[in-house]
Amino acid sequence: MNEKRKTKRLKELNEISISVVSGGTNIPQEKLSYNYSEDISASGAKIRGNFLLPVNTVLQIDFRINTLKKQITAVGKIKWIKVIIEDKYYEAGVEFVNTTKEAIQKIENYIEWKQKNKSLNPFWIFTKFNEPEPK
């Protein structure tokens, strides 16, 4: 399978919080819970949550990068939705739009740092083999 992505993607879970900026009408805020990003790149991320958000909804996403003890804020537009469990669990592909160059640079630097550390850290192999299999 040919890789179509423009930028390197880091597959790891990070905590996130989101808020709808535009395009998501009639979304009850108390039900809106997107708690994790499954992977991230300088151009977007895959997020997981409990509410179906329409394609083209614009979100503000606050990534809490545990390793760095930092938060990175990005604005993104939903490009696709995947229903995992109807009315309970969804994944969404988000493309970053109108995100500051500084935030994109922080994401790129983090991905580069993590990939470099994986190659230098022998314990990464142990961690990698204990991750769940992709579906």
Instruction: Enter the tokens of residue 54.
Output: 């329409």
Q: By percentage, how much of the chain surpasses pLDDT 70? A: 72
CA 126 to chain CA mean position, Å: 24
Task: Kindly indicate the confidence band of residue 23, based on its pLDDT and cuts at 50, 70 and 90.
Answer: confident
Averaged pLDDT score across all residues of the chain:
79
Distance CA 108, CA 85 (A): 32
**Domain with residues 10-129, CATH architecture:** Beta Barrel (2.40)
Distance CA 20, CA 111 (A): 26
Cα–Cα separations (whole angstroms), residue 14 to 34, 79, 90, 131 = 11, 20, 16, 14
Task: Kindly indicate the confidence band of residue 123, based on its pLDDT and cuts at 50, 70 and 90.
Answer: low
- 75-117 per-position pLDDT tens digit: 999 999 998 888 778 999 999 998 999 999 998 988 888 888 7
Distance CA 14, CA 11 (A): 10
Give alpha helix (H) positions in the chain. 101-120, 123-129
Q: By percentage, how much of the chain surpasses pLDDT 90? A: 29
Where is 9: in which H helix or E strand?
Answer: strand 9-22
